[in-house]
Each structure stands twice: as structure tokens, then as C-alpha cells.
């Protein structure tokens, strides 16, 4: 850096009269290294015949990581399809009167006491007859060779009394939970209902909710079509009868959570074993290539090692694999930055980012204000404003001009005051963000683009490093390189002459 500082001082004091002879040999070597450092891979190949290994490894990594992503995505589609279809199967098997379509956010609703009892006993009876009902490979989960039991829990107020006139009541708000455990042998016995009659004698005015939970095992055989080993899953099923509202409408929620488990006594057969070897060879090749690239990215090695430890969640794997593929593709942009006609996007983003970030901080305050206001005032009257996240999503779609008329039309005119407020709220938000905020946002980016475009036509402001390099003569190249330059065919851009790069862009 001492050489660099002395150069700036000398150049500022003596102007253009300074020649290359005034610099020491060490300064010349420094300038030579700097200029070579900022060359593109094609220029480096023409000057020193240095093969751009980084670029080659990057392209190879893109191909292989993208291939892995496609294979993982296809397999993940089978997993998601299997889970969704099993969830629909269980709803049809264990929910009495299920129509095949959920009602809003719950599966179905019951309105009479008899319907509640019928649904509860129906689910328990279906659980006992599972082996003779399901057309899929589903069985009871086991704990130490014993079938896991079915558990029924009811939560109710500790005590309470309501007179028939409903004019007076005495309710203790403290709740308590009572559970009943039934194994498969008990359920198969026809006397289990009589033996537990007191448990099922429900006081509905005290009942908060009733929950039925059990576990099942399943095996995903459709992966065999892809020449892969089948996957085994354990399903945690919960049926909840929600009576918190005590409005006469009891909502029935069905929840099925699938967790991947290790298959027992699984054998490799035929093409499955052979395909597994091919995938293993491909995976090893990918690992070797990634490790080669990781020599230049030490941090990637640490993340890869963490990724290889005990991660069986499809969600976690998909997030890491998808993000890594995104970063791999974006990493190629740095090579386009060597060419002035291809780096407009990079330069515009770099120049506009600070302004856009400051602008978004101010606009975000207004956006959050509208979000909270819409949630509090309009939440009870419109489904798109029921939660903070839904309000934010609704407003974002309005900024982009989506679903405007439907948002206006779906407001319930139960309150004239709220209806008038909703009009003022929506018109002001749309006008402010579309005609002002969004326009200013685009103007900031356009201004940065015009500045970069003007620089490309008239020249970029010179940095200290550019001034240092400008005083140096043309980069030396070997005679053999000059003789073979016309025959160079490693990459298409290698056939260009040195005069094509009159301006070296360092930004």
C-alpha cells in the first residue's frame, strides 16, 4: 500500500508528466499483479494461457446441483402427494358425514348432542376395523411389539350449573382434562361402551373440547416406480371436537402429521439395488466436485458438513438445497461483470440499493400502520383482514393491482360506519402506494440506471486504483500467445483482440 500511496501523491503533484520510468520495479510488479487480478477469465487465458478452472467448476457445479435438485424435487412430489392423499383417506375413514371438502379451516361441524356421540363412536369403531377398511398399506403403530392405544381426552370447566331458563349460571372458569385410554383389544370387545358410560356422559355446557388421538404406520410404495426403496411413515392423528364458543355449533378439526421413520426388514431387490448404486456413484461425483469448488469457498464446506448430519426432514433439506441452487446460479453473475455490456443490472442494483433501502424503511412505516389499522377495524367484517399476516398479504396484492374489485365487494355492510371507513381506507392506501410510493420506488431505480448508462457512454469516474493502473503500459504477453491468438478457441470471447478492452471497469 505504501507504493500505492506514493503513486497517488506523485500523480497529484506532477500530473500527466509522470512516466513509467519514474516508478520502481516493485511498483511495476504491483501494478502488473493488480491489472491481472481484475482481468476476466478470457483475458487471463489470452495473456498467460491460464485455463479458467473457477468458471469451469462453477458451470459443472450448476449442472450437477441442478440435477440433484430436480431428482429431489421429483421425489419430494411423491412424498407430498402421499401425505395429502393419506390425510384425505383418514378424513373419509374416521369422520362420519365427511363430504370430501373442508368447511373453511375445519373439516366439518355438528349441531346436536346425538351427532357428537355418533361421530365419536364412529371414529373409535372405524379404528378397530382399520385392517378391513383401508385399501392402502396402513397398520397400527406399535410400542415394544404392543399396539399403541387410542386416547380420548375431554377438557371441561371444573364445575358449573346452568338453569333451564338460562337467566342465571354458576361456572368455574378453571378447566380440567380427563383422559381415557383404549387398546385395540378393549375396543374389539363390545362391552367397552357400557364400561365407560360415565366418561361419555358429557355435560355440553361445561365441555370445552374433546380430543381423540391415535397413531398409525404406513409405507409409501409408489417410490418403487422410480426405482427407489419405499419410505415408511408414522401418522399422528388427532380429531378435535371444539366447543369453546358454546354457540351450538361444534367444529370438528382433523389433523394428521406424518413423520418419516426407518423401515424394518427392508430388502433391496432387482433394479432398485442397481439404481441405488448409480445414484451413489453420481452422489460421490457431486461431492468431489463440490469439494473442489469449496477450496475457494471454505464457508460452503462448513454448511455442507452441517447439512450431512442427521437431517431427515424434507422441509429442511428442500430449503437448504433450493437456497444453494439459487446461490449457485446467482454466483455466475460475477463472471458477466467482467464485460461492460452485460453488467448493467449489477451496477444498477449496486447503485440503487442504498437509496431503495432508505426509501423502504420510510414506506414500511406507512405500510405497517395500514396493516395494524386494517386488522383491528376491518378484521371482523372481511376474511382477508382476520389476521396480521393476511392483512399484509392482502395489501401487498393490492399494491400490485391484484384482486381489487373482490376486496371491495366482499365487505359486509353490517355497519354503515365501518363500510364507509373501509372505502376511505382502501382508496387512500391504493392511491398512496400505487400512484406515489410505487412510482417513487421505480424512479429511484430508473435514476440509478440512467446514471450508469451515462457513465457507460461517457466513462466512469476514475478511482484511485484505475488512476494507478492507467499509467502502466500494456500488459505483457508471450510471443507464443500472440502467434496463437487468432487460433484460440477455448471460449468464444478468446478470439477478440486486446483492443476490445480499452476501458477496464473496476467498481
Is the same domain home to 173 and 249? Answer: yes
Amino acid 194: pLDDT: 85
The span from the first CA to the last CA of the chain, in angstroms, equals 19
Is the same domain home to 129 and 218? Answer: yes
For residue 472, is it within any domain?
no
Nearest Cα to Cα of residue 312 among 256, 235, 226, 233: 233
Is the same domain home to 154 and 245? Answer: yes
Is the same domain home to 329 and 346? Answer: no
Is the same domain home to 249 and 293? Answer: no
Q: Tell me the C-alpha distance between 96 and 11, whole Å.
A: 88
Amino acid 225: pLDDT: 67
Is the same domain home to 325 and 362? Answer: no
For residue 228, is it within any domain?
yes
Is the same domain home to 289 and 215? Answer: no
Amino acid 270: pLDDT: 52
Is the same domain home to 323 and 373? Answer: no
Report pLDDT digits (tens) over 12-45: 444 444 444 555 777 777 667 667 666 667 777 7
Pairing outcome for strands 142-143 and 146-147: antiparallel
Residues of the chain with pLDDT under 50: 1-7, 10-20, 271, 307, 311, 473-507
H-only helix segments in 144-270: 184-188, 192-195
Range of the domain at 365: 342-458
Contact indicator for 444, 356 with CB cutoff of 8 Å: yes
Cell 432398485 locates to: 272
For residue 484, is it within any domain?
no
Is the same domain home to 81 and 175? Answer: no
For residue 381, is it within any domain?
yes
Number of domains in the chain: 3
H-only helix segments in 166-214: 184-188, 192-195
Cell 500505492 locates to: 4
Report pLDDT digits (tens) over 404-456: 888 887 776 667 888 888 889 999 999 999 888 888 888 888 888 888 887 77
| DSSP conformation class of 103 | B
For residue 305, is it within any domain?
no
For residue 474, is it within any domain?
no
For residue 230, is it within any domain?
yes
Is the same domain home to 87 and 109? Answer: no
Is the same domain home to 121 and 236? Answer: yes
Amino acid 7: pLDDT: 47
H-only helix segments in 15-52: 25-37, 41-48
Amino acid 251: pLDDT: 92
Is the same domain home to 247 and 380? Answer: no
Q: Tell me the C-alpha distance between 404 and 393, whole Å.
A: 13
Amino acid 170: pLDDT: 65
Buried b (16+ CB within 10 A) or exposed e, 225-239: eeebbebbbebebeb
Longest dimension (CA), the chain: 109
Amino acid 166: pLDDT: 57
Helix axes of 388-399 and 416-432: crossing angle, nearest 10 degrees? 50
Amino acid 206: pLDDT: 85
For residue 182, is it within any domain?
yes
Amino acid at each position: 500500500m505504501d507504493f500505492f500511496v506514493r503513486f497517488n501523491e506523485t500523480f497529484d503533484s506532477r500530473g500527466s508528466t509522470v512516466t513509467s520510468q519514474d516508478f520502481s520495479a516493485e511498483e511495476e510488479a504491483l501494478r502488473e499483479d493488480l491489472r491481472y487480478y481484475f482481468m476476466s477469465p478470457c483475458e487471463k487465458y489470452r495473456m498467460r494461457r491460464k485455463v479458467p478452472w473457477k468458471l469451469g467448476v462453477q458451470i459443472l457445479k450448476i449442472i450437477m446441483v441442478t440435477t440433484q435438485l430436480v431428482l429431489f424435487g421429483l421425489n419430494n412430489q411423491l412424498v407430498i402427494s402421499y401425505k395429502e392423499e393419506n390425510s384425505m383417506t383418514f378424513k373419509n375413514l374416521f369422520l362420519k358425514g365427511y363430504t370430501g371438502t373442508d368447511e373453511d379451516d375445519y373439516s366439518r361441524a355438528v349441531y346436536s348432542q346425538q351427532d357428537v356421540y355418533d361421530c365419536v363412536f364412529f371414529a373409535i369403531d372405524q379404528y378397530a376395523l382399520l385392517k378391513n377398511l383401508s385399501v392402502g398399506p396402513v397398520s397400527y403403530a406399535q410400542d415394544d411389539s404392543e399396539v399403541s392405544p387410542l386416547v380420548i381426552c375431554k377438557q371441561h370447566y371444573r364445575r358449573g350449573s346452568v338453569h333451564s331458563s338460562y337467566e342465571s349460571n354458576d361456572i368455574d372458569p378453571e378447566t380440567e382434562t380427563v383422559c381415557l385410554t383404549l387398546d385395540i383389544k378393549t375396543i374389539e370387545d363390545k362391552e367397552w361402551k357400557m364400561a365407560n358410560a360415565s366418561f361419555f356422559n358429557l355435560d355440553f355446557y361445561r365441555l370445552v373440547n374433546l380430543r381423540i388421538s391415535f397413531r398409525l404406520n404406513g409405507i409409501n410404495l409408489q417410490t418403487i416406480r422410480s426405482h427407489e426403496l419405499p419410505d415408511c411413515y408414522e401418522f399422528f392423528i388427532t380429531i378435535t371436537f371444539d366447543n369453546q364458543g358454546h354457540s351450538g355449533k361444534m367444529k370438528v378439526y382433523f389433523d394428521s402429521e406424518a413423520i418419516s421413520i426407518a423401515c424394518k426388514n427392508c430388502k433391496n431387490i432387482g433394479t432398485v439395488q442397481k439404481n441405488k448404486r448409480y445414484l451413489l456413484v453420481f452422489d460421490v461425483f457431486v461431492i468431489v466436485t463440490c469439494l473442489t469448488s469449496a477450496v475457494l469457498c471454505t464457508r460452503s464446506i462448513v454448511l455442507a458438513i452441517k447439512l450431512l448430519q442427521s437431517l431427515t426432514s424434507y422441509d429442511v433439506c428442500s430449503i437448504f438445497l433450493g437456497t444453494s441452487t439459487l446461490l449457485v446460479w446467482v454466483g455466475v453473475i460475477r463472471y458477466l461483470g467482467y464485460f461492460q455490456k452485460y453488467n448493467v443490472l449489477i451496477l444498477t442494483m449496486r447503485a440503487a440499493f442504498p437509496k431503495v433501502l432508505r426509501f423502504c424503511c420510510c414506506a414500511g412505516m406507512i405500510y405497517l400502520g395500514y396493516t395494524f389499522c386494517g386488522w383491528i377495524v376491518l378484521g371482523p367484517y372481511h376474511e382477508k383482514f382476520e389476521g396480521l399476516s393476511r392483512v399484509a398479504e392482502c395489501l401487498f396484492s393490492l399494491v400490485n393491482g391484484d384482486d381489487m374489485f373482490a376486496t371491495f365487494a366482499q365487505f359486509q355492510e353490517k355497519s354503515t360506519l365501518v363500510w364507509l371507513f373501509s372505502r376511505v381506507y382502501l382508496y387512500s392506501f391504493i392511491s398512496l402506494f400505487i400512484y406515489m410510493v410505487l412510482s417513487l420506488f421505480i424512479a429511484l431505480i430508473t435514476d440509478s440506471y440512467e446514471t450508469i448508462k451515462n457513465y457507460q457512454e461517457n466513462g466512469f469516474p476514475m478511482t484511485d486504483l484505475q488512476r494507478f493502473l492507467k499509467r502502466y503500459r500494456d500488459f505483457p504477453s508471450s510471443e507464443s500467445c500472440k502467434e496463437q491468438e487468432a487460433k484460440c478457441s477455448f471460449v468464444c470471447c478468446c478470439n477478440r483482440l486486446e483492443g476490445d478492452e480499452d476501458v477496464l471497469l473496476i467498481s
